[in-house]
Amino acid sequence: MTRVRSGRRLVAMAAASLAVAAAAAQGPSLRITSPTEGTYLMGSVRLTLVTDPVRAIRDVDQVRWFADGRLVCTVFQPPFSCDWDTGPGITEHQIRAVALLRSGDRLIDNVRTATVDYAETVDVDVVQITAVVTDNEGRFIGGLRQEDFKIVDDDRPQKLTHFAAENIPLELVAAVDVSSSMTQALPFVRSAAKQFLGDLDAADQVTLLGFNDNIFTLARRSTDPAARVKAVDRLAPWGGTALYDVLLKAMDLLGRQAGRHAVIVFSDGDDQSSHASLDGVIRRAEGSDATIYMIGQGRALQAASLQQLMRRLTTVSGGRAFFSENAAKLDAAFHEILEDLRHQYLLSYAPPSGASDGAWHRIRVEAGGGKYSVRTRQGYRIDHGNSK
Amino acid sequence: MPREALALAAGVLIALGTAAAQQPSARGAMPLPARAAAVASALGLPRADPALLPIDIVRLLYSAGQGPRTPSDPAYFALQEALGAQRTDGDEVPLPLTPAIWRTRLLRDPGVADERLALRIFTHRDTALLYYGLYAMDDPTLAWIASHEEVLDTFKRHPGLTAAFGRSLRIRDGTVVTPGSPGADAIWGDLAAAQPGDPAAFIARLFESHAGRLALLYDAVAQLDAPHQRFALIAGGGIRARALLQAVIAASPDWVVEDRPLFRPPVDVALLLRAVRLDDRGGVAPPAGRALWEQICDVRNRYGDPAGSDVDAAWLAACILDAAPPVARTRLTAFLFAQRAYAGNAAGSEQARLVEVVRAVMHYPALILTLERSGVGDLEVYEQAARRTASIERLRGDDRRMAFTLFQGAVALIDRARWAETLTPDAGRRAAAALFALEPRPATYGADVAKWIATEFLAAANDRASAGGSLEIKVLRALSGVADAHAPVVEWERRRYRVDPAAAEFKRLQRIRARQGAASLDAAAGRVNARAGGRMLADTLAAIVYAIQLGDPDGSALSGGRVWARHEFDAPRYLGDQRRGWRVATEMFGADGWRLTGSLLALEGPLAPLALRRMDANNVPPEPRLSENDRRTIAHTAALLNPYHLTDSDRDRIAAALARGRARVAALAQSPGTIADVARESRIGQWRTRAIEWRLARGTADPAGPFTLLELLRLGGVDVPSAWGTVAEPSDGCLCLEPPDPIALDDVIGRSSSGQLGRQFDDVMLRLAEVFAARKLPAALVRDAAAIALQDVLDGSQPYYFDDLLTLSLGASALPVDRIEDYVSALTATGPLVPVTAASTGSGR
C-alpha cells in the first residue's frame, strides 16, 4: 500500500513539476481576483489582482485599471489594487487590468460582471443632515447629545433615527478651477489645497477634481495623503469654466453609504462652458445631502451672479461661501472649512410619508433648546430619478 | 576608345554628377553656439533636427502678428539666451547663400563672426523672414542670386513677401521659370511689366507691385497643378489675367501682406483656384454658364467679361473674393456644390431651376447640404425642399417652431438612416419627396409627419431595421443600422466578440433616450390629433435628433437637461440673420443654459466635441495649442466617420501603400536623384525638400527626416479613400468626408481661423489602418477607435505653434501599438465588439 501511495505521490509530483515547467515556459500571467467573472456589482468595489507565479508581482512596474473602457486608476505600488465606484444600480461592467512589467511587456486580464434585466428596488429614504452648532459668538459647540436636537420637517416634528457626534466618516470631493484665468492664483491654490488635504483625517476619503471646460479626476476616493498631494501638483491652468458641470459631477461622485458628504469648489469665475443648467444644479443640490463649500477668488469678486449662485448653493446645503481677494490668503478659508468639518454632527430621520414627491420640504433644526445657532441644509427634495 | 575606358569615363562622370547634385554650392552652414537639441529645448520646440530647427524658430516667433518680437516675450528671450551663448561646439544649421553675403549684403555688418550669425538673423524679424524665404529657394536659384547680389536689395525691402512667396521663385539659365511656363511667360511679363528673362527686374516688379498682391497670385498659381495653372492664367490670355489680378488686389483689403506674410484669409485665391473643378478642356466644369452665375453673384463683374459665355478664373475671383468673408464662403460653397451636383450644363428652363437650387443652398445650406451628403439629393428633390421651406418661413410663433422642428427633424431621420444604410438612396429620395409634399398646416402637420414616420419612412427602411417593436424602437433601429449576418468574429484578450456597430449604436441611443426623459415617439405620435400633440411630437423628434449626436450616454452633455427644448431656430432681430434656422447651428453657453442656435440639421458639426472620447481623464492634459476651429474640424471628422463605409480592402490598400512609401523614403540616401520625385509626389513642400538636400550633402545618417503618414501614402501611390478622409467643409463646404486636399503642410500655414489644418489631419486614421491591417482587425472598428485616438493625440501631441501640423501628424504616426490595443479593448465594453457566448479558450491575444 505504501509503495502504491508513494508511486501515486511521485506521479503527482511529476505532473505538478511538468505543469510548473509549462507555466514557466509560457511566462507569467495576470488574474483579476476582484471582481470575479459574472458577479453583480453595485456601489464601491475594490479591484484586486494576482500574478501567476506570485513572485512575478515583483516585476510589475505599474498597473492600469480600466472600467468600461475608461482608465480609472494607475497604481505604482503592490498590491496594485484600486477602489472604483460602479454607480447606482446593477449593470454589466467590463474590468480590465494592464500590468506593465519592467521589461516593457504587458500582462492583461479582464472580467465581465453581470447585469440584472429587472430589479425590483425598494428605495429606503432617509434624510441625512450634517449640522454645525455655534453659540452667539460663533464658537463651535461640541459634546451635544441626540436629545439636544429637535428636527422639524415642514412644521412637523421628526424623530431622529440616527445620531453621531464623532468619528463620522467623511467623504469629500474637492474641485479646483484650472481655467486659464487661474494661472496667477494657481500656485497659491495648490499650496492651500495641499495644506488642507494634509490636515484632513487619514480615514477621510477625498476625490480631487480639476476642471476647466472639461473635468479631470486627479485622485479618486483616496485615503493616501501622499497621493492626494501628488494629485494637486497635476493641476495646470487653461481653458474655460464648466462650474455647473463640476458641481453636478461632484455630487454624483459622492457615495450612497451613510456618513458625511461634502463638496468644496474653488473657482474664480462665472460658468462659461457647462452643459448643465443653473436650475439643474440647484435642484440637484436640493436633493443631495452634501454640504457645499465654495471659495471665490479673483474675477469672482466682481461677478455678482457667481456670488449669488455660491451663496444660494452653500446656504441651501448648510455650507459656506468665502470670497478672497488675495490668493495668498486662501489658507484662512480652507482652515475655516476644516474647522467646520471637524465640528459636524450627523443626524438622520425617516421622512414623513408622502415626502418622496419630488417637492421641496423645509427642514428646521434646533439645538440646545434654541439657544444655539445651527447651520444645516435648509430642506430636501426626494426625486427617485437621481437624488438622495 | 576601348570599351573599358569608356565605362570608366562614364562612371567618373556619373560620380561627379552625383557629387555635384549632393554638394549645393550656394547653400552653406552656420554654427550654433549650442547643440540643436539645447536650442530646441530652450524654446520648447519638438524637433532638434538642425536642418529644420531654423524653420521652426521662424514659425514659432514670427507667424503671428506683425512687428518685431520683444525681449519680454519668453520665447524670444529664450532664443536670445540660447543663441547668445559663447560656445563654439554647437551644431551647424543650413544657411542659404554664404556667410559673406549675409554679412555684407543682408546684415550690412562685415564684422559679424560666424558664431554670431544665427543670433543676428533669428532675433530680428526682417532677417529671420529673409532667411525663411531664401531657405525655400532651390540651389540653382540661390546660385543665380549669389552671382547677382543686387536682387537681394529687393528681398531686403520686402522680407515678409520673401518669406511668404520666395518658395515659388525658380531661376534657370538666367531666366525665371514662371508658373505655367512656357505658355505663361508673356502673361507674367505683362502683369509684372518686366520680363522673366531679366530676373532681377522681374523679381523687383513682382514684389513691389500692388503691395505684394502680384506675388501672392504668383505663389498661388505656382502651387497649382498644370491644368489649374492653365485655367487660372493662360486660358483667358493677358486681359483676363489682369482681371484676375485686379480681383486679388481688391480682396481682403485689410490684410497687409508684408505685415502678416504668414497669414491667409479664410477664402483666398489659392483656395479658390485649387477647388474649382475643371472639365476635359481645362475650363470650368459645369455648370459654368455666366448667365446662370450672374443671377447668383449679384455684383456685376467690374473687371471685364470672359471672352465666351462661361465663367473663368477672373470672373470667379471677382464674384467670390471681392466680398466680405462670410459672403465669400457662401458663394464659394454654392459654386462648388453646384459643380458637385451637376454633370450637364444647364440651359433654358433647366437653368431657371438650377438658379433656384443654387439660391437654395445659399439660403438654406444646412438643408441642401444634408440632402446632398445623404445621397438623396437631385435637382427635383432640392427644388421641392426649397419650395417647402418657403411655406414654413411664412409661419410665426409656436406654429413656426413646431413646423421647423417637424420638417428638419424628419429630414434628419432620413439623413441618419442613410448613414446607417437602412435606407437606400432611392428609398431615401422617395421618403424625402413624400415629406416635402406635406403642407405645414399648423393644425395637421403633426399628424401628417407622424403618419409619414410610421408609413413612408419606416416603409422605406430596411425590413430588418423596422421589424418588430414599438414605433420608437423601429425608428431607433433604422437610425442605428442592421447587424451584418456575416459579421466577423474577433478573438480579443481571450474572448470572442462579434463586430456589431448597429447593436452598439442602438444601445447607445436607447440609453440616451432613457436619460433624456422625453416622451416616447409612440406617446407623442398617439397625441397628434390635437394641435398641442403636434408640439409634443416636435419635442420628441428634436430629442431623438439630438440623441444621435450627444455622444456618450454617461457624458456631461446629458446633464444639460432638455437642451433640445432650448434649441433656437431664429437669431435675435438685431443680428439681421433672417435665415439662421437654415444654417448649421452654433453652440451657446450662458446662464440660460447650454443650447444651439440654427438648424436642427447637421448637428454633428456644432456637437462635434461630443464625438471624441477621452479614455484617461485622470490627468489635466497640456493646454491645447491648436486653434479652436482646427480642433472642431478634427472632432467633426470623428463625428462623420461611418463604420459601414470602412472596408477591410481599403484598410489593406492603405497599409500596403504606407509600406511602399516607407521603402521609397528609406531609399533616398542611396538614390538622391529621386528627391525631386519624392518631394513632388509626397507634397512635403519646399522647406523640407531643401532640408533633405542639405542632410544628404552632409552625409547625415537619416537624410530623409520625418514624413507624415499622409505623405507616405501619397508616395505609395494611393489617395485616401473618402470614407477614411476628413471633413471637407473647410475646403468646399461639403458636410461629408473627402480625402485631404492635395497640398503640402506648408499650405495650411496661416489658415487656423478656417480649420484648414484640421482638414489636412488624417494621420490617425492612417495609423489605425496600418495597425489594424497588421493585426487583422476589422476596419469597421476604426470609427470607434478613432474617437478615442483623436482625443488622445489632441491631448498628447501638442503643436508648438498654431500651424505645426507636422508635430500633430508625427504624434499620430507614433501612436504605440499598445495604446491602440487599449482603444480596441475599450470597444468591448460598450462599443461595437459584442461578446459572443463564453470566453474562448484559444490563444487569442
Would residue A22 count as lying in a domain?
Answer: no
Same domain, A229 and A288: yes
B606 touches B557 (CB < 8 A):
no
In a domain, B281, yes or no: no
Q: Enumerate residues 685 to 744 of chain B having a beta carbon within 8 A of any beta carbon in chain A.
A: none
A108 in the same domain as A132 = no
Q: Strand pairing partners for A127?
A: A349
pLDDT for res B512: 97
> Which residues, at least 6 apart from B72, have a Cβ–Cβ distance to it below 8 Å?
none
Q: Are residues B545 and B639 in the same domain?
A: no
A14 to chain B, any CB pair closer than 8 A? The answer is: no
- Position of cell 453657453? B589
Query: Hey, is the C-beta of B1 within 8 angstroms of any chain A C-beta?
Result: no
Q: Are A108 and B493 an interchain contact pair (Cβ–Cβ within 8 Å)?
A: yes
Instruction: Work out the percent of chain B whose per-residue pLDDT is above 90.
Output: 74
- Looking at residue A28, what is its pLDDT? 95
Q: Which residues contact B305 (CB under 8 A, 6 or more apart)?
A: B290, B315
pLDDT of residue B349: 61
Residue A387 pLDDT exceeds 50: no
Contact A351, A151 (CB under 8 A): no
Check: CB of residue B484 under 8 Å from CB of residue B465.
Answer: no
| Domain termination site, one of B83, B105, B136 | B136
Q: Which residues of B touch A307 (CB under 8 A)?
A: none
A305: closest chain B residue by CA: B591
pLDDT over 60 at A3, yes or no: no
In a shared domain, residues B455 and B568:
yes
Q: Is residue A218 part of a domain?
A: yes
Structure confidence at residue B23 as a pLDDT band (50, 70, 90)? very low
In a domain, B407, yes or no: yes
Same domain, A307 and A243: yes
B254-264 in b/e form (b: 16+ CB < 10 A) is ebebbebbbbb
Answer whether residue A213 is part of any domain: yes
Closest CA to B726 of B685, B765, B784: B765
**Residues of B with CB below 8 A from A217's CB?**
617-618
Q: Is the pLDDT of residue B621 over 50?
A: yes
The last residue of a domain, from among B82, B102, B136? B136
Which whole-number Å values give the CA distances from B678 to B673, B681, B688, B827, in the listed order?
A: 10, 5, 11, 38
**Domain shared by B582 and B648, yes or no:** no
Contact status, residue B824 vs residue B815, Cβ threshold 8 Å? no
Distance of CA B304 to the CA centre of its chain: 33
Confidence of residue B840 (pLDDT cuts 50, 70, 90): very low
Q: What type of residue sits at position B35?
A: R
Instruction: Give the residue numbers spanning the domain of A386.
Output: 123-388
- State the amino acid at position B319 in one-letter form: C
A270 domain residue, yes or no: yes
Residues from chain A contacting residue B624 (CB–CB below 8 Å):
238
| Of B244 and A269, more confident | B244
In this complex, do B559 and A210 lie within 8 Å of one another by their Cβ atoms? no
- Residue B595 shares a structural domain with residue B672: no
Give A92 to chain B, closest Cα distance, Å: 9
Q: What is the pLDDT of residue B1?
A: 52
Arithmetic mean of pLDDT, B528-534:
75
Residue of B nearest to A67 (CA): B829
Judged by a CB distance cut-off of 8 A, whether residue B618 touches chain A is yes
- Sign of the Cα pseudo-torsion (B668, B674, B680, B682, in order): negative
Digit-coded pLDDT (tens) for A165-181: 977 889 999 999 999 98
Final residue of a structural domain among A62, A93, A112:
A112
Question: Could you give the CA distance from residue A36 to residue A33 in angstroms, rounded to a whole number?
Answer: 6
Please indicate, yes or no, if residue A2 is contained in any of the structural domains: no
Helices B817-830 and B501-516: angle between axes, nearest 10 degrees: 60
Residues B834 and B504: beta-carbon distance below 8 Å: yes
Mean pLDDT of B709-715: 98
Query: Which whole number is the average pLDDT over B77-88?
Result: 86
pLDDT of A202-251, one tens digit each? Answer: 888 889 999 999 999 988 876 677 777 888 888 889 999 999 999 999 99
Contact (CB, 8 A) for A95 and A110? yes
Residues B809, B660 within the same domain: yes
Cβ–Cβ gap B617/A71 under 8 Å:
yes
B residues 490-549 closer than 8 Å to A (CB): 493-495, 517
Answer yes or no: do A280 and B622 touch at CB < 8 A: no
Which of B606, B640, B671 finishes a domain?
B606
> What is the rounded average pLDDT of the residues B52-57?
95
Give strand pairing partners of B588.
B595
- Does residue A42 fall inside a structural domain? yes
A2 has a pLDDT exceeding 70: no
Task: Quote the minimal CA–CA distance from A334 to chain B in Å.
Answer: 23
Q: How far is CA A65 from the centre of its chain?
A: 18
Q: How far is it, in rounded angstroms, from Cα A313 to Cα A288?
A: 11
| Chain B residues lying within 8 Å of A237, measured CB to CB | 623
Say yes or no for a CB contact (<8 Å) between B556 and A245. yes
Domain boundary among A49, A77, A112: A112
Distance from CA of A234 to the nearest CA of B (A): 7
**List of chain A residues whose C-beta atoms are within 8 Å of the C-beta of residue B594:** 274-277
Percentage of chain B surpassing pLDDT 70? 92
Whether residue A178 is found in the same domain as residue A39: no
Entry field: residues in chain B: 845
Q: In whole angstroms, give the CA distance from residue B323 to residue B252.
A: 8
Strand ranges (E), B195-304: none
Q: Which of B507, B562, B564, B589 to mutate to test the interface with A (most CBs of A within 10 A)?
A: B589
Residues of A in contact with B494 (CB under 8 A): 110
* Cell numbers that stand for B440 in this block: 405645414
Q: Do B619 and A305 touch (CB under 8 A)?
A: no
Based on the fold, state whether residues B522 and B446 are members of the same structural domain. yes
Is B192 a member of any domain? no
Same domain for A339 and A291: yes
Mean pLDDT of B282-299: 84
- Judge if B573 and B720 occupy the same domain: no
The CATH number assigned to the domain holding A84 equals 2.60.40.10
- Are B593 and A279 in contact (CB < 8 Å)? yes
For residue A169, give how far its alpha carbon lies from the nearest alpha carbon of chain B (Å): 25
What pLDDT is stored for residue B204 in this prediction? Answer: 98
* CA B267 to chain CA mean position, Å: 13
End-to-end CA distance of chain B: 67
Same domain, B638 and B732: yes
Q: Which of B595, B618, B795 to mutate to test the interface with A (most CBs of A within 10 A)?
A: B618
Pairwise CB contact (< 8 Å): B593 & A277: yes
**C-beta atoms of A271 and B591 within 8 A:** yes
pLDDT band at residue B2 under the 50/70/90 scheme: low
The per-residue pLDDT for range B435-467, each reduced to its tens digit, is 999 999 999 999 999 999 999 999 988 777 667
All residues of chain A having their beta carbon less than 8 Å from the beta carbon of residue B593 are 277-279
Determine the average pLDDT of the residues in A127-149.
94
* Separation CA A271–CA A299 (nearest Å): 12
- Are A277 and A185 within one domain? yes
Give phi and psi for B738, each to the nearest 5. Answer: -145, 160
Name chain B contacts of A216, Cβ cutoff 8 Å: 617-620
Task: Specify the pLDDT at position A147.
Answer: 94
Contact criterion met (CB < 8 Å) for A69 and B563: no
The verdict on a CB contact (< 8 Å) between A73 and B622 is no
Asked whether B777 and B824 are in contact (CB, 8 A), the reply is yes
How far, in Å, CA of A218 to CA of B438, rounded?
54
What are B762's three cell numbers? 488624417
| A276·B825 Cβ contact <8 A | no
| pLDDT score at B572 | 64
Residues 155-184 of B with CB under 8 A from A: none
Is A84 within 8 Å of chain B by CB?
no
Q: Give chain A's domain count.
A: 2
Q: Is residue A6 pLDDT above 90, yes or no?
A: no
pLDDT tens-digit series, residues B353-373: 888 889 999 999 999 999 999
pLDDT at residue A388, as a whole number: 35
Q: Which residues of chain A make contact with B623, given a CB cutoff of 8 A?
A: 180, 236-239
Residues B602 and B632 in one domain: no
Q: How many other C-beta atoms lie within 10 A of the C-beta of residue A106?
A: 14
Do A138 and A237 lie in a common domain? yes
pLDDT at A94: 95
Whether A24 is covered by a domain: the verdict is no
Measure A387 CA to nearest chain B CA, in Å: 14
| Cα distances (angstroms) measured from residue B153 to each of A295, B145, B193, B429 | 61, 11, 19, 64
A225 shares its domain with A363: yes
| CB pair distance less than 8 Å for A69 and B589 | no
Residue B376 lies in a domain: no
pLDDT on residue A1: 37
Q: What is the pLDDT of residues A40-83, one digit of tens each?
A: 998 889 999 999 999 999 999 999 999 999 999 999 999 999 98
Position B190 in a domain: no
Contacts of A275 in chain B (CB under 8 A): 556-560, 563, 594
Q: In the beta sheet, which residues pair with residue B171?
A: B176
* CB contact (8 A) between residue B591 and residue A66: no
User: By CB neighbour count within 10 A (0-12 exposed, 13-18 middle, 19+ buried), where does A304 fall?
Assistant: exposed
Do B482 and B449 belong together in one domain?
yes
pLDDT tens sequence across B233-250: 988 888 899 999 999 999
The predicted structure's pLDDT at residue A55: 94
Q: Contacts of residue B556 in chain A, CB cutoff 8 Å?
A: 215, 242, 245, 248-249, 274-276
In a shared domain, residues B585 and B634:
no
Segment A147-156 mean pLDDT: 94
- Say yes or no: A78 and A161 in one domain: no
Would you call B631 an interface residue with chain A, using a CB distance cutoff of 8 Å? Answer: no
- Asked if residue B166 is part of any domain, the answer here is no
Beta A127-134 vs A94-101: how paired, if at all? unpaired
Mean pLDDT of all residues belonging to chain A: 87
Phi, psi of B582 (to 5 degrees): -115, 5
What are the chain B neighbours of A276 within 8 Å (beta carbons)?
Answer: 556, 559-561, 594
In this prediction, residue A383 carries a pLDDT of: 74
**Residue B503: is its pLDDT beyond 80?**
yes
- For chain B, how are helix, strand and coil distributed in percent, rounded to 5? 60, 5, 35
Q: Which residue has the cell 531664401?
A: B134
Pairs of residues, one from chain A and one from chain B, whose beta carbons lie less than 8 Å apart: 111
The answer for residues whose C-beta is within 8 angstroms of residue B75's C-beta and 6 or more apart is B43, B44, B60, B61, B69
**Which residue range(s) make up the domain with B632?**
628-814
A357-A358-A359-A360 Cα dihedral, nearest 10 degrees? 130
Q: What is the mean pLDDT of chain B?
A: 90
- pLDDT of A122 higher than 60: no
Pairing of strands A170-177, A205-211: parallel
Which of the four pLDDT bands, split at 50, 70 and 90, describes residue B348?
A: low
How confident is the model at residue A87, as a pLDDT? Answer: 81
Q: Which of A86, A112, A138 is the last residue of a domain?
A: A112
> Is A238–B831 a contact, with Cβ atoms under 8 angstroms apart?
no
Alpha helices in A149-238 (DSSP H): 186-199, 225-233
Q: Residues A216, A284: one domain?
A: yes
Q: Which of A356, A71, A242 is nearest to B609 (CA)?
A: A242
CA B488/CA B498 separation, integer angstroms: 6
B453 in a structural domain:
yes
DSSP E strand stretches across B470-525:
489-492, 495-499
Asked whether the beta carbons of residue A68 and residue B829 sit closer than 8 angstroms, the reply is: yes
> Do A53 and A179 have their domain in common?
no
CB contact under 8 A, B560 and A276: yes
Say if residue B653 is in the same domain as residue B572: no
- A254 shares its domain with A339: yes
Rounded-to-integer distance, Cα B768 and Cα B824, Å: 10
Reported ipTM? 0.89
Chain A stretch 287-326, residues whose beta carbon is closer than 8 A to a beta carbon of chain B: 305
- Kindly tell me if the per-residue pLDDT of B11 is higher than 60: no
Determine, for residues B615 and A70 on separate chains, whether the beta-carbon distance falls below 8 Å: yes
Domain count of chain B? 3
Q: A209 lies in a domain? A: yes
Instruction: Tell me, yes or no, whether B448 lies in a domain.
Output: yes
In a 10 Å sphere around its CB, with 0-12 CB exposed, 13-18 middle and 19+ buried, how is residue B781 labelled?
buried
Contact criterion met (CB below 8 Å) for B624 and B631:
yes
Which positions in chain A touch B561 (Cβ < 8 Å)? Answer: 276-277, 279-280
